[in-house]
C-alpha cells in the first residue's frame, strides 16, 4: 500500500490552479485590449467622418467661389469675392486646427490606456 505525501498533493493542487489564474488574468488583459482597440477604431471612424464632411465643405466653398467669381462684373467685385473666400477658408482652417488637437487628444488617451501597465481601459 502506498502512502501519499500531503506536501506533494498540496503542491500538485497549487500547480493546477496557477494556469487557470494566469488564464483569467490573460483573458482580462485581452478583453481590456479589445475594448481600447474598439474605442480607438470608433475615434478613427469619427475622424474619418469629420474629414469627409470637411472635404465636402471645401468643395462647396470652391464651387460657390467659382460661381461668384464668374459672375463678377468688375475688379472690385472680384476682389470682394476673393476676400470673402479667403475669410471663409481661414475659418475652416481654424476649425481644422481645433479638430486636430481634439482628435490628437482622443488618440493619445486611447494609446495611453493601450500601453499602460495592465492595459486597463479606464483611468484618468
Mean pLDDT by 10 residues, the chain (124 residues): 66 64 81 84 89 92 92 92 94 92 86 65 45
Tell me how far the alpha carbon of residue 6 is from its chain's centroid.
55
Sign of CA dihedral 102, 104, 108, 110: positive
Q: Are 33 and 111 in contact (CB under 8 A)?
A: no
Give me the pLDDT at residue 32, please: 82
Instruction: Measure Cα distances from 124 to 28, 40, 116, 121 in Å.
Output: 19, 16, 11, 10
Note the residue count of the chain. Answer: 124
Own/partner contacts of 49-52, CB < 8 Å, gap of 24 or more, are: 50/99, 50/103
Give me the pLDDT at residue 58, please: 92
d(CA 46, CA 62): 24
C-alpha cell at 26: 490573460
Model-level pTM?
0.62
Amino acid at each position: 500500500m502506498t502512502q501519499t505525501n500531503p506536501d506533494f498533493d498540496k503542491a500538485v493542487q497549487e500547480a493546477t490552479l496557477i494556469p487557470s489564474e494566469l488564464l483569467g488574468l490573460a483573458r482580462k488583459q485581452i478583453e481590456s485590449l479589445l475594448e481600447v482597440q474598439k474605442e480607438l477604431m470608433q475615434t478613427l471612424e469619427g475622424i474619418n467622418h469629420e474629414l469627409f464632411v470637411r472635404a465636402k465643405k471645401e468643395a462647396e466653398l470652391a464651387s460657390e467661389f467659382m460661381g461668384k467669381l464668374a459672375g463678377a462684373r468688375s475688379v472690385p467685385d472680384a476682389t470682394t469675392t476673393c476676400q470673402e473666400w479667403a475669410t471663409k477658408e481661414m475659418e475652416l482652417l481654424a476649425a481644422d486646427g481645433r479638430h486636430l488637437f481634439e482628435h490628437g487628444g482622443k488618440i493619445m488617451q486611447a494609446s495611453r490606456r493601450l500601453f499602460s501597465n495592465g492595459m486597463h481601459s479606464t483611468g484618468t
